[in-house]
Amino acid sequence: MYDKVFLNEYGFYELKKKPSLKSMKEDFEGSYYQESKGNYEQKYTKTEKNFFKIKYDQKKRIIESHVHFSDNQKKSLLDIGCGEGYALKYFYENGYKVLGIDFSRHGITNNNPDMLPFFCQGDCVTILKNMVSKGEKFDVINMDQSLDMMLEPEKVLKLCKNILQNDGVMIIKVANNYSVLQEYLIKTQKVDREFWLDEEGHPYYFNKEGLIKFLNAFGYRCENVYGESFIDFNLLNDKTNYYRDKTVGKSCYYARIELELLMEKLSEEKTLEIYRLLGEMGLGREIMGVFKKEM
């Protein structure tokens, strides 16, 4: 059905022809942030920053509902693919020992330079191997839109198993691609091509079932899956289909933020339950899995 990807043994798609590590490194270090090539903006509004905080509040609640921290315990978080450093700063300010890894230092330097002392630049496989050799451990490993951008995700998951504390939790958020909604959009001709395909930056295209099966294969069990963002529901409406009409994209983005801020204000608990139900159905522009080690 698709020309440039194939369905692998885990039930998600991957590129037939993957970029080299060298080309991906050059892409990240040279232009990813500078040209706003990824999902990052150069400047954020006050509303956007408030939205980021709400999302980290939600993530913190999820983490602390799955890990049994003692009252005086010094909690620790490793952020693989830390980007602009907002997660590092949030958890640092909430008492966590933090460390971030990324190919590029541009994002964190421009947005959260005070987090640079807790930042390692380079290939995460090399850095993680060094951490394993030193016996370093973390209570939380966070990968926010990074696992699907790795060339060697299997190696990363194997290494993380040696770094994650036995009672720790791994939070993995990936784009929900070739999802039930996207396949419906293609079938009904709301979109005429795989606009989410990124041959330079995304070798892997996860869905809910594929993500869970992939993690299971490397010794992790899934505790929960959450669907994140309603923005792709706009593609069902001809007036708000931002694939066909790029001029409505920004308004759809800000409408998504307003809706999710309102939901959080109405009920923190019910908002998370809505996201959990979205994830259970395989819906949401992103999916976020909560995993623990099989002992």
Taking only the tens place, the pLDDT of each residue in 138-169 is 999 999 999 999 999 999 999 999 999 999 99
**What confidence tens digit (pLDDT) does each residue in 264-289 have?**
999 999 999 999 999 999 999 999 99
Q: Are 87 and 56 in contact (CB under 8 A)?
A: yes
Q: Please check whether residue 110 is in contact with residue 43, taking contact to mean a CB–CB distance below 8 angstroms.
A: no
Q: Output the average pLDDT for the chain.
A: 93
> Residue 169: what residue type?
V
* pLDDT at residue 168, as a whole number: 96
Distances (CA, A) of 185 to 3, 57, 146, 226, 227: 18, 32, 25, 21, 18
The predicted structure's pLDDT at residue 155: 98
Task: Tell me the CA distances in angstroms from 54 to 48, 94, 233, 277, 290, one per residue in order.
Answer: 10, 14, 21, 19, 18
Domain 5-228+271-293 has CATH 3.40.50.2000: no
Give the residue among 103, 105, 98 at the shortest CA–CA distance from 84. Answer: 105
- Pairing outcome for strands 13-15 and 204-205: antiparallel
pLDDT in the model for residue 72: 81
CA 222/CA 276 separation, integer angstroms: 13
Q: Which helix (DSSP H) or strand (DSSP E) does residue 119 occupy?
A: strand 119-121
Residue listed under structure tokens 């007036």: 239
> From the CB of residue 274, how many other CB atoms can be counted at a distance below 10 Å?
15
Residue with more model confidence, 96 or 21: 96
More confident call, 48 vs 72: 48
The rounded distance, in Å, linking the Cα atoms of 215 and 4 is 24
Helices vs strands, H then E, count in the chain: 10, 10
Q: Region 124-135: what's the mean pLDDT?
A: 97
The mean pLDDT of 63-70, rounded to a whole number, is 91
- 34 pLDDT above the threshold of 60: no
pLDDT value of residue 88: 98
- Do residues 253 and 40 touch, judged by C-beta distance below 8 A? no
For residue range 188-244, list pLDDT tens digits in order. 999 999 999 988 889 999 999 999 999 999 999 999 999 999 999 999 999 999 999
Q: Mean per-residue pLDDT for 62-84?
A: 92
pLDDT at residue 158 in the model: 98
Residues 79 and 139: beta-carbon distance below 8 Å: no
* pTM (2 d.p.): 0.93
d(CA 261, CA 250): 17
